[in-house]
Amino acid sequence: MSPKKQNEEDPHVSDSDTDSTYEDSSAADDDDGDSFGSPSESESEPAAGDDSEPDEHGESDSSGLHQEESDSSEDEVAPRNTVGDVPLHWYDDEPHIGYDIKGKKIKKKDKLDKLGSFLANVDDSKNWRKVYDEYNDEEVELTKDEVKLVRRLLKNRAPHADFNPYPDYVDWFKWDGAKHPLSNAPEPKRRFIPSKWEAKKVVQYVRAIRKGLITFDKPKEEDGPYLLWEDDSGLTEKSNHLAYIPAPKQRLPGNEESYNPPLEYIPTQEEINSYQLMYEEDRPKFIPKRFTSMRSIPAYENAMKECFERCLDLYLCPRVRKKRLNIDPESLKPKLPSRKELKPYPTACYIEYKGHEDAVTSISVEPSGQWIASGSSDGTVRIWEVETGRCLRRWDVGEAVNCVAWNPLPDVHILAVSLGQDVLILNTHLGDDEEQKKIKELLSVDTSTPSDDSGNSATSVRWLQDDKHGAIKLKFFKTVTAVEWHRKGDYFSTVMPAGESRAVLIHHLSKKLTQKLPFKLHGLAVRSTFHPSRSIFFICTKQSVRVYDLLKRKLIKKLDTGLREASSIAVHPGGDNLIVGSKEGKLCWFDMDLSSKPYKTLKCHPKDINNVVYHRSYPLFASCSDDCNAYVFHGMVYSDLNQNPLIVPLEILRGHTSSDGRGILDCKFHPRQPWLFTAGADKLIKLYCH
């Protein structure tokens, strides 16, 4: 077979023919049919050809793979595959791998099993050069040159070592014999004379520079530090601006911030765990840690953050000068006169009056100070002898007693008792016969009298004779909470909080008359009281105290207590001062000459104040409350108008026990001695003496 003939049939192959021959020189001689050179050639040839002989291979770039195979096949004796560029797995199940040039099937060769091939490979030292060519189903052994080629290709270099990628440029044009230059034009004049336009431009620039229109960038001068504060000895704080407050310095670190603090500064694990339970803002920001050597201290992770927070403080926080008091807290307390100098005052409990079967709601002391009357919610009124604690008399009135009040006249031994919607005027049967006769006269009600009473209060109150107790009974239409006698003993006032316009009524005992107040009441009346020496009447409503002149029938004053709910009122025997107790436990002292606002407000009780009283002769006053304490104060009023009253807390009287959330319900001073009676919800009456 002649290669020429093949070439003519396939014009594409013709050029590659020449270079494939050198492969053949090594391979074609041995006729044993295995063409080891050809696959590698097919890989390497396009690249090698491109590099080494560009001019020859210019057109053969497009030559396909199979053609080159066919090209090499013509040199080989062995049948070459001609299936073309089809997926080879099409022939997986066939006994042949393809067809040779004549159309005959090429049989698959027998394959060694894995073990066999492995054993064969082990023995063969050239095994690493062998490559399996799947297309032709044969094994190819690479020569040394080919391995070199592959290696160079892997390194991205030209495959042939002798190829020079940067050859010197060889000018294609031969200049030697040229007679004429490329351009024959003569050199222009402008090449020899200075440019007019340039000169103009220069002049323009020069002028601009002279005029100062163009300025040059001055060389940058470093504005380094200089002596800023040369001599500031004469300078003082400048005053034309607002006062400058320097930022407070940061707190200096204590032992706990040390890298190696004493062991006791380090919190235990339990404490650290307990921090987790705290609110985030309460949690300590810094937990002390201990490192045994300086080399083991790590970088502090919050360094930047803390610096930043300080910056924020510096420019975002308003600066205010605050006086930091570095004083003993005790020095804040006001200087009060010693309590010893203010004696006598009640200090300790001496007598207990036992006998009531329920809370004692009210007590009243007889003007001479020998007897004390008490009313209780067990429906009894009792009279006790003060000094012995003996119960002299008891009345079963059958209803819880709200208030008892002894007539202030020493020879009229009668008692006003309020129970429910009634008020009883009881004869106590004390005193000699003459006095008793008078009292009996006083307490007899002529049944005809109410009818010719003036119309203003006839419907609200009825005066009745109570034969059971030998007393007068006044029937009201609402519950009466308080009864208060006038100093002359002929009048008394009653308070019915729910009575609206008829809440406060004044009764004339000798005439058996009842009068409505000619004033409009503002708010819910709580207590009322008479002035100790003048015809002035005080009505305490929930939020204010109103002072009326009964003779002139007009309002004199309105006192703002500022309390939420007043509960009791007492007037100083002098008449110009009064105290108001409230249900929030506050005590207001009013100086009526001074102002309509409280002169002093004392927050002494945590619970409701039930009653407040003045002593008639000693400068004492007291308050009792549901917290089972009674406070005794020294309240000195001076006749000099310029001097404010002196108030000194003296004693806290304890001893009562709480029942049903109520403590001391009433307290009264002894008329002559500095003794205090207290009536508790624990069924006891106590006497505190000095």
Partner 1 sequence: MVKAVKHYRPPGKKKEGNAAKFVTRSQALKQLQINLPLFRKLCILKGVTPREPKKKFKGTHQTYYHVKDVAFLHHEPLLEIHREIRVHERKIKKAEAKKNLERAKRLREKTPKPKIDRIIRQRYPRFVDALGELDDCLSMVHLFAALPAAESKKIDIECVHKCRRLAHEWQAFISRTHKLRKAFVSVKGIYYQAEVEGQKITWLTPHSLQQVVSDDVDVITMLNFLQLYEPLLGFVNFRLYHSINLKYPPILDPRLEALAADLYALSRYANANVNAVPSVVNSEASQVAESEQGDAKPKRDDIEHEKSELRLAQLQHQLPTNEPGALMQLVEEAASEEEVDQDTRECKNLFKDLKFFLSREFFLRLYLLRKLILQPSFGGIVSWEGEGAPFQESDQSITHQIVDRDSQGHKFLSREYVQPQWVFDSVNARIILPTVDYMVGRIPPPHLSPFIDYEEEGAYIPDYAKTIKQLQAAARKEVLPLPGVGKEDLEDPQNILVEGIMDRAEANQAAQRKQKMMMLEQQYHNDLKKELQGVTYGKMDSNVDKQTSTGEESTDNAQQKDDADDMGTLMMSRKKRKLLEAMKISNERKQAKNDLIKQRKKKIDEAHKKN
Footprint of partner 1 on 424-483 (CB under 8 A):
none
Kindly tell me which of 382 and 634 has the beta carbon lying closer to partner 1.
634
Shortest Å distance, C-beta 142 to partner 1: 53
- 603 is a contact residue toward partner 1 (CB under 8 A): yes
- 314 is a contact residue toward partner 1 (CB under 8 A): yes
Shortest Å distance, C-beta 582 to partner 1: 15
Kindly tell me which of 11 and 334 has the beta carbon lying closer to partner 1.
334
Q: What is the DSSP letter of 331?
A: G
Kindly tell me which of 596 and 601 has the beta carbon lying closer to partner 1.
601
Largest CA distance in the chain: 178
Shortest Å distance, C-beta 328 to partner 1: 9
Shortest Å distance, C-beta 208 to partner 1: 17
Residues 461, 474 contacting (CB under 8 angstroms): yes
Q: What is the DSSP letter of 256?
A: G
Backbone phi, then psi, for 559, in 5-degree steps? -105, 125
All residues at 6 or more sequence positions from 83 whose CB lies less than 8 Å from its CB, including other chains: 91, 97, 98, 99
Shortest Å distance, C-beta 343 to partner 1: 15
Hey, how many other C-beta atoms are within 10 angstroms of the C-beta on 148?
A: 14
Q: Which of 188, 318, 455, 661 binds partner 1 (CB under 8 A)?
A: 318
- 185 is a contact residue toward partner 1 (CB under 8 A): no
* Selection from 124, 131, 159 nearest residue 38 by Cα: 131
Measured between alpha carbons, how far is residue 494 from residues 381, 530, 536, 540 in Å? Answer: 18, 11, 16, 12
Shortest Å distance, C-beta 590 to partner 1: 17
Q: Which of 315, 467, 660, 661 binds partner 1 (CB under 8 A)?
A: 315
All residues at 6 or more sequence positions from 549 whose CB lies less than 8 Å from its CB, including other chains: 535, 536, 537, 555, 556
Q: Which of 126, 155, 180, 333 binds partner 1 (CB under 8 A)?
A: 333
Q: What is the DSSP letter of 175?
A: -
Order of strands across the sheet that contains 414-419: 401-406, 414-419, 422-427, 471-475, 462-466
Shortest Å distance, C-beta 272 to partner 1: 13
- 275 is a contact residue toward partner 1 (CB under 8 A): no
Terminal CA-CA length for the chain: 153
- 319 is a contact residue toward partner 1 (CB under 8 A): yes
Kindly tell me which of 144 and 285 has the beta carbon lying closer to partner 1.
285
- 249 is a contact residue toward partner 1 (CB under 8 A): yes
Shortest Å distance, C-beta 335 to partner 1: 10
Kindly tell me which of 196 and 295 has the beta carbon lying closer to partner 1.
295
Kindly tell me which of 84 and 606 has the beta carbon lying closer to partner 1.
606
- 255 is a contact residue toward partner 1 (CB under 8 A): yes
Q: Mask: binding to partner 1, 546-585, rule CB under 8 A, as x and -?
A: ----------------------------------------
Q: Which of 173, 175, 244, 279 binds partner 1 (CB under 8 A)?
A: 244
Part of the chain binding partner 1 (CB under 8 A), chosen from 41-49, 82-90, 328-336, 549-557: 328-336
* Selection from 645, 608, 613, 644 nearest residue 627 by Cα: 608
In three-state secondary structure terms, 648 is: strand
Kindly tell me which of 212 and 253 has the beta carbon lying closer to partner 1.
253
Residues 7, 15 contacting (CB under 8 angstroms): no
Backbone phi, then psi, for 484, in 5-degree steps? -140, 130
Shortest Å distance, C-beta 261 to partner 1: 6
Kindly tell me which of 77 and 311 has the beta carbon lying closer to partner 1.
311
Number of residues that bind partner 1 (CB under 8 A): 80
Positions 625 through 664 that interact with partner 1 (CB under 8 A)? 647-652
Cis, bond preceding 344 (omega within 30 deg of 0)? yes
Kindly tell me which of 214 and 311 has the beta carbon lying closer to partner 1.
311
Shortest Å distance, C-beta 558 to partner 1: 25
Residues 359, 683 contacting (CB under 8 angstroms): yes
Hey, how many other C-beta atoms are within 10 angstroms of the C-beta on 166?
A: 5
DSSP code per residue over 585-597: SEEEEEETTT-SS
Part of the chain binding partner 1 (CB under 8 A), chosen from 115-123, 332-340, 510-518, 671-679: 332-340
- 316 is a contact residue toward partner 1 (CB under 8 A): yes
Look at the chain and count its residues: 690
Positions 202 through 241 that interact with partner 1 (CB under 8 A)? 217, 220, 223-229, 232, 235, 237-238, 241
Q: Which of 86, 193, 277, 312 binds partner 1 (CB under 8 A)?
A: 312
Kindly tell me which of 144 and 238 has the beta carbon lying closer to partner 1.
238
Shortest Å distance, C-beta 268 to partner 1: 7
Hey, how many other C-beta atoms are within 10 angstroms of the C-beta on 293?
A: 8
Positions 288 through 307 that interact with partner 1 (CB under 8 A)? 288-289, 291-295, 297-307
- Ramachandran quadrant class, 628 (left: phi over 0; alpha: psi -120 to 50; beta: rest): left
- The two three-digit tokens of residue 252, written as one number: 């200096």
- 609 is a contact residue toward partner 1 (CB under 8 A): no
Hey, how many other C-beta atoms are within 10 angstroms of the C-beta on 110?
A: 5
Torsion angle in degrees (nearest 10) through CA of 517, 523, 528, 531 = -80
Please name the amino acid found at residue 671.
P
- 254 is a contact residue toward partner 1 (CB under 8 A): yes
Measured between alpha carbons, how far is residue 491 from residues 425, 455, 539 in Å? Answer: 12, 19, 16
- 317 is a contact residue toward partner 1 (CB under 8 A): yes
Q: Which of 111, 332, 520, 642 binds partner 1 (CB under 8 A)?
A: 332
- The two three-digit tokens of residue 14, written as one number: 């013709």
Please name the amino acid found at residue 579.
I
Kindly tell me which of 404 and 667 has the beta carbon lying closer to partner 1.
667
Part of the chain binding partner 1 (CB under 8 A), chosen from 249-257, 379-387, 437-445, 505-513: 249-257
Part of the chain binding partner 1 (CB under 8 A), chosen from 91-99, 177-185, 319-327, 569-577: 319-327
Hey, how many other C-beta atoms are within 10 angstroms of the C-beta on 232?
A: 8
* Selection from 467, 424, 446, 437 nearest residue 513 by Cα: 446
Residue 458 and residue 106: Cα distance in Å, rounded?
144
- 606 is a contact residue toward partner 1 (CB under 8 A): no
Shortest Å distance, C-beta 682 to partner 1: 20
Shortest Å distance, C-beta 289 to partner 1: 6
Shortest Å distance, C-beta 392 to partner 1: 35
Residue 349 and residue 678: Cα distance in Å, rounded?
10
- 247 is a contact residue toward partner 1 (CB under 8 A): yes
Kindly tell me which of 86 and 263 has the beta carbon lying closer to partner 1.
263
Positions 343 through 362 that interact with partner 1 (CB under 8 A)? none
Q: Which of 336, 458, 498, 641 binds partner 1 (CB under 8 A)?
A: 336
Query: Rounded to the nearest 5 degrees, what angle is found at the Cα of 255, between the Cα atoms of 251 and 261?
Result: 145
Residue 381 and residue 377: Cα distance in Å, rounded?
9
Q: Which of 61, 123, 171, 264 binds partner 1 (CB under 8 A)?
A: 264
All residues at 6 or more sequence positions from 48 whose CB lies less than 8 Å from its CB, including other chains: 149, 159, 160
